[in-house]
Amino acid sequence: MERHACNGWIERWQARLLGAATLLVATLVLTITLILVVGAAKFLQSRGWRIQVLLGAHWNPLAGHFEIGLFIVDTIIVTALAMALTLPFGLGVAVFGAYVAGWRERAALRWLLTIFAAVPSVAMGWWGLAVVVPSVRRIFGGPGFSLLAAGAVLAVMLLPTFSLLALEVLDKVPEDWHQASLALGASEDQNLLQMALKVSLPGLKTAFLSAVARAMGETVAVQMVIGGAVYGFHGVLGPGATLTTQILTDMAILPLGHPAHGVLDLMALILLVALMLLTTWAQRGDDRP
């Protein structure tokens, strides 16, 4: 009896502590969002809620011009470039790991990808500075610091995580299904394209969207190779700035308390909302039948 009573007491407190922890997390998320929303709203109000803030490309904080359209466009372009490069390579690596490699090669591959995934972004940026930027300059001309360089560095950063996720997804296709498919006369290619990849699509979509979210949110590595140009669009081979890198660049000249600090809140809020939507969408794709 006494033990039961004691357990009940402990369990009640456990439940309360766990509940409190959950509440804390929820409060944090809400508070962060709220602060950004309030900051962004104040800023937009000071600009008379003009849509030009989002669509325009005139950015000169010291002169009072705050139009962030260029950063949104650059963010989209850099992310798209990164995904276009990562997708074929990552899928290739995943298919190799799941279906071609023997168990020894597969273990080595997993180990390598896991290590690779843990490389800090500043190291990737440094590598980008040393290798990617000069390569872009040599091959395509121009300054080298460019959206393309940023996309390439990002692609290399995303590759291990995306490959690992995709490999897990392909690995989950039951052996029964492979055998049933092959027993009907499917070649290995047909089995891959018409069965395995097809049934893995929801999982691969999740892996893809997670990679997109990571690409949009990455800051330091991109900042190191993108060139930071804020006056006008210079094309894929020219320098630019994304939402993340521009927050990094301008947080010093628009500190808290500055009347235009809110524009940074607005940029952060846009990123936050975009990533929330992406993540939600990604998880929805994961409900396999």
Partner 1 sequence: MVAIAMERVSVWYGRVKALNDVSLEVQPGSVLALIGPSGCGKSTLLRVLNRLIERTPSARVAGRVLVDGRDILAPDVDLALLRRRVGMIFQRPVSFPFSIFDNVAYGPRLHGMKNPHQLRQVVEASLKQAALWDEVRGKLRRPAHGLSGGQQQRLALARALAVNPEIILMDEPTSALDPGSAARIEELVVQLKGRYTVLIVTHNLQQAARVSDFTGFLDRGQLIELGETSLIFTAPRDRRTEAYLTGQFE
Pick 25 or 193: Cβ nearer partner 1: 193
Pick 131 or 182: Cβ nearer partner 1: 182
Minimal distance, residue 281 CB to partner 1, in Å: 20
Pick 2 or 176: Cβ nearer partner 1: 176
Task: Quote the CA–CA distance of 176 and 170 in Å, as a whole number.
Answer: 14
Q: Are 170 and 196 in contact (CB under 8 A)?
A: yes
Pick 22 or 187: Cβ nearer partner 1: 187
Pick 20 or 201: Cβ nearer partner 1: 201
Task: Quote the CA–CA distance of 15 and 242 in Å, as a whole number.
Answer: 43
User: What does the longest C-alpha to C-alpha distance in the chain come to?
Assistant: 81
Q: Report residue 265 CA to chain centroid gap.
A: 19
Task: Quote the CA–CA distance of 41 and 35 in Å, as a whole number.
Answer: 10
Task: Quote the CA–CA distance of 265 and 267 in Å, as a whole number.
Answer: 5
Minimal distance, residue 190 CB to partner 1, in Å: 5
Minimal distance, residue 102 CB to partner 1, in Å: 8
Q: For residue 122, give the 3-state DSSP assignment.
A: helix
Minimal distance, residue 209 CB to partner 1, in Å: 20
Give the list of residues 6+ apart from residue 283 with CB closer than 8 angstroms, or none: 206
Pick 11 or 188: Cβ nearer partner 1: 188
Site residues (vs partner 1, CB under 8 A): 102, 176-187, 190, 194-195, 198-199, 288-289
Q: Using alpha carbons, select from 90, 109, 92 the residue that is nearest to residue 154.
A: 90
Burial of 236 by CB count in 10 Å (0-12 exposed, 13-18 middle, 19+ buried)? buried
Please give the DSSP secondary-structure letter assigned to residue 184: T
Minimal distance, residue 205 CB to partner 1, in Å: 14
Minimal distance, residue 51 CB to partner 1, in Å: 44
